[in-house]
Amino acid sequence: MKRTRYIVTQRDTSKFLERFINIMEQQVTGKSTKEVGVEKLDEALSNRIQSTTKIEEIVEELQDALEKACKTSFRQTGKTNKDKKPEQYKSVPWWTHNLTMLRKKVNAHRRRYQRTKGSTALREQMKEQYRTVKA
């Protein structure tokens, strides 16, 4: 089974609940109404479970309904590292090895400046070094 991650907000949970109940209502009774009848749905589900011997099918329908409701209610996060295919980066003609080295040097000086604690004189010195390298 493929796992999907979703970003869930408080506003989305009520949307999820409404959509899930509508999907289940449609699967169980064969019709979908605007009024969400949780009690009627619960009663229909319990009757259906008691009358059938194939509970696995009902569980699969419930799983499908949950997946549909999640997909329509929540935003999906980016793929995990396992799901990703290796990205092929397009080279930019103007970017050179020299620019890469300069960028790393500037970033190193910026980190050094940001992480300097304690002495304000030393921090100012690091700040000045960072600004000159950046320029």
Q: What is the overall mean pLDDT for the chain?
A: 79
* pLDDT for res 82: 58
d(CA 39, CA 58): 18
* pLDDT for res 32: 59
Give domain limits for the chain: 6-76, 97-134
Task: Please return the burial class of 89, using the count of CB atoms within 10 Å of its CB with bins 0-12, 13-18 and 19+.
Answer: exposed
Percent of the chain with pLDDT over 70: 77
Q: Dump pLDDT digits (tens) for 17-34.
A: 778 778 877 777 666 555
Q: Dump pLDDT digits (tens) for 40-92.
A: 777 877 888 888 888 888 888 888 888 888 788 777 766 555 555 666 677 77
pTM confidence score? 0.45
Residue 95 predicted with pLDDT over 80:
yes
DSSP character for 7?
E
* pLDDT for res 102: 93
Residue with tokens 């169980």: 28
d(CA 120, CA 35): 66
CB 26 within 8 A of CB 96: no
